[in-house]
Amino acid sequence: MTTKTRAKSRILDAVHETSADLHRLGFIDKRKQQKLDALCLEPIPPYDSAQIRALREHLKLSQAVLASVLNTSLSTVRKWEIGEKHPSGPSLKLLNLLERKGLEAVL
């Protein structure tokens, strides 16, 4: 039930592989394995203004609709697209999810 992740180091990779085996054998429950999976994920790369605009246009969304999907304000999306601000935290994670899985994954 674990997802394939990339670890930040060889040691973390070995720990993750061991925990996946322990989970498969029933020694680690699903919740603890999910926490370990999250620790082993690579950090999300930052998005610049051109990438955000390109993603929005690829999804055929207006700035207002993208703001609604990301649960942020229209002015925030505008500032991202002109480079005054940069997304972080949950917004960054949702942008990455939109890029990888599409709009259906977020709605």
Paired tokens of 51: 């990438």
Which residues neighbour 80 within 8 Å (Cβ) at sequence distance 6 or greater? 47, 49, 52, 86, 87
pLDDT in tens, 38-52: 877 778 899 999 999
Residues spanned by the domain of 17 = 10-39
Same domain, 56 and 22: no
Burial category of 68 from C-beta neighbours within 10 Å (exposed 0-12, middle 13-18, buried 19 and up): middle
Q: Give the pLDDT score at 40.
A: 78
Q: What is the pTM of this model?
A: 0.70
Cα(92)–Cα(66) distance, rounded to whole angstroms?
Answer: 13
The domain spanning residue 88 has which CATH number? 1.10.260.40
Same domain, 98 and 61: yes
Number of compact structural domains in the chain: 2
Q: How confident is the model at residue 31 (pLDDT cuts 50, 70, 90)?
A: very high
Q: Give the pLDDT score at 11.
A: 83
Q: How confident is the model at residue 87 (pLDDT cuts 50, 70, 90)?
A: very high
- Distance from first CA to last CA of the chain, Å, rounded? 24
